[in-house]
Every structure is written in structure tokens, then in C-alpha cells.
Amino acid sequence: MRSTERSRIDLHAHSSASDGMLSPSELVARAAERGIEVLALTDHDTTAGIAEARQAARRHGVGLVPAIEMSAAAGDKPLHVVGLGIDPDAAGLRAAIGRLRELRAERARRIGRRLARLGIAQAYEGACAEAGAAVPGRAHFARWLIGRGICADNAEIFSRLLGRGRPAYVATVWPEIEDTVACIREAGGVAVLAHPMRYKFTATWLRRIAGRFRECGGSAIEVVLANQPQRETATAAAIARHCGLMGSVGSDFHACGRYAPELGAFGALPPEIEPVWESLPAASVLAGRTAAQ
Ligand code: AMP
Ligand code: MN
Ligand code: MN
Ligand code: MN
């Protein structure tokens, strides 16, 4: 990623409704400052930030795509599915969010117990304090651990403690991608396989999972991401073409900072890939001042 690259469309960003550092309105204000015209708020397993983001988007003249990043699985492999243009009030989505919230809350308690057994006391309480109104996730544990000087940075925490297979990792049985995709579609949304290169799957597995995702009604895959090496973008683009998926772009913004991915800080979608945003119903992009509601 070159620092000069700028996109006016960013379809993956977090607020403090999940594990982002900015409130939904601060996030939208930052997007506006950075010249973003269309922003998707994709908090983990919650739509709690959308109402506030919508209001801010109206004030700033930013198009807001109501969205979510849902925790899911393909067999024993955890992954994330972004739902773009969802109706946050859809009954099936509300029920799914309720179940995910319980899974996350139980997982957080278990992570706390594991850390306690490793000699790190009070981590659950610490993560709850970091999370505020949100359900504590691994990023909140990470922030608390860094604050206490137990680890230097996120990379160390995930490789030593919280990453898959590490001693404080708690495996969770997330919903299968078929159920997640169906839920997003029932809520009027478009399902996007998030950050495919981050799972470190083999090429065969990735194609298999992307194919399964397409089969069950998934529409797109994230091809361009902030801080993603060019060769990974090329691989993601090849999978999109192979499986007949559209392409999405995003920063996966969580916080401001020198090394953190910034809103819109990525290049263009390769020209041969169909942009997912062109298929979003106009009504799902709640454009600021011109929107009816
Ligand atoms: P969770 O949703 O609780 O499973 O936590 C996933 C979140 O943890 C991601 O969205 C990131 O915010 C953060 N995360 C996961 N892996 C890493 C990593 N290797 N380095 C930094 N942050 C990570
Ligand atoms: Mn996160
Ligand atoms: Mn994710
Ligand atoms: Mn994300």
C-alpha cells in the first residue's frame, strides 16, 4: 500500500459500538474530512452504531451504508462475513445478533478465565471497562493488556495469547456461512466474504470456501484492503473472478494511529472486477443531505 493511495469509497470500518476507538459520529466526521463519499459501518455482530452514524452522515453529506461484520464459520474455520445494505430492524437479523452477542459474552468470560489461569488476573473486568457498552472482544482484551504493560502491541498479544491456537484462545462455534449469508439476504443485504487473505488458508481451502460462499448466495469478496500486499490483492482478485464474485474495498479501520489502517487508504479495485457498491440498492446508501430519511 502506498500512502498516497486514496479511495472515496470505504466499505469496512468499525466504531466504538464494537471494537473501534471512535464513536459512530466521530468515525463519520473523520470519513468526511478524508473525502470519503460512501462509508459502510461494519461493526462486529452489532448494528448498535448505525442510528448515530446515519444522523452524522446526514450532517456531513456522507453516504452511509448500514452494514455489519458477522462472525461465522466454514466447519472448524472461523471467518467474517460483511453484510452491506442490511435493514438493522429485520427480525431474522435481530435474532442472529442476539445469539452472537451471547456467544461473544460467554467467550469473553472464558478468555478471562484462561488469562487468570495464566497468571493475568482481572482481565475480564478490564476488557469490559475497555468495551464500554459493547460486548468485550479480543481487541478489548488486547487494549487492556497493552495498557497494563503485559504485552507491547497487538501483534505480540495475538501471537502469544489471543490468536488461534494460543493459550488464551477460546474456540467458538459460530454460525455456518450458509446461515449467515441467508440472514444477511433476508435483511435485504449483500453478503461479502471479508479479508480473505487474512485467514492464512491454503489456496485450495480458500477457493473451496469462496466457492461455497458463492453457492449459498454470497455476492462479493473483499479484494482491496488497506495495508494489504499487492500480491494478496492479486490473489483475492483471481478468486473473485474464478468464483464469479464481485469485489469490495475497505480499510477495516479501527483507530487512528501511525501504523493503523486509515479510512480510504487503499488503491482502486482492479478494473476486471465488478464493484459490489454498484449493485447496492440506492436506498441502502443513506446519502447525507439528499436522503429522504
Ligand atoms: P474478535 O471479533 O473478538 O474475535 O476479535 C477480532 C478482532 O481482533 C479483529 O477485528 C481485530 O480488531 C483484532 N485482531 C485480530 N487479530 C489481530 C491481530 N493479529 N493483530 C491485531 N488485531 C487483531
Ligand atoms: Mn475488530
Ligand atoms: Mn474481520
Ligand atoms: Mn473488521
Report CA(283)–ligand 4 centroid distance (Å): 23
Residue with cell 473501534: 20
C-alpha cell at 47: 448494528
pLDDT in tens, 35-91: 999 999 999 999 999 999 999 999 999 999 999 999 999 999 999 999 999 999 999
Q: Which three cell numbers stand for residue 224?
A: 482491496
Distance from C-alpha of 271 to C-alpha of 86, rounded to nearest angstrom: 26
Q: What is the pLDDT of residue 147?
A: 96
Looking at the predicted structure, is the pLDDT value of residue 141 above 50?
Answer: yes
Question: Is 195:252 a contact under the CB 8 Å cutoff?
Answer: yes
Q: Which ligand is nearest to the CA of 18?
A: 2
Taking a C-beta distance cutoff of 8 angstroms, is the pair 258, 29 a contact? no
CA angle 161, 162, 166 (to 5 degrees): 60
pLDDT tens profile 239-259: 999 999 999 999 999 999 988
Nearest to residue 180, comparing CAs of 41, 88, 69, 104? Answer: 69
pTM for the full predicted model: 0.96
Which residue has its alpha carbon closest to ligand 1 atom 16?
158
Rounded CA separation 176/107 (Å): 17
| Range(s) of the chain covered by CATH 1.10.150 | 104-162
Q: HSE (CB half, 13 Å, CA atoms) of 64?
A: 33
Ligand 1 residue neighbourhood (C-beta within 6 Å) = 19, 44, 137-139, 154-155, 158, 163, 254
The alpha carbon of 286 and the centre of ligand 1 are apart by a number of angstroms equal to 28
Tell me what pLDDT residue 292 has.
Answer: 40
Tens of pLDDT, residues 94-107: 999 999 999 999 99
Q: So what CATH class is 104-162?
A: mainly alpha
The domain defined by 6-96+175-284 folds into TIM Barrel (3.20.20)
Count of other CB atoms within 10 angstroms of residue 87: 16
Domain with CATH 3.20.20.140 in the chain: 6-96+175-284
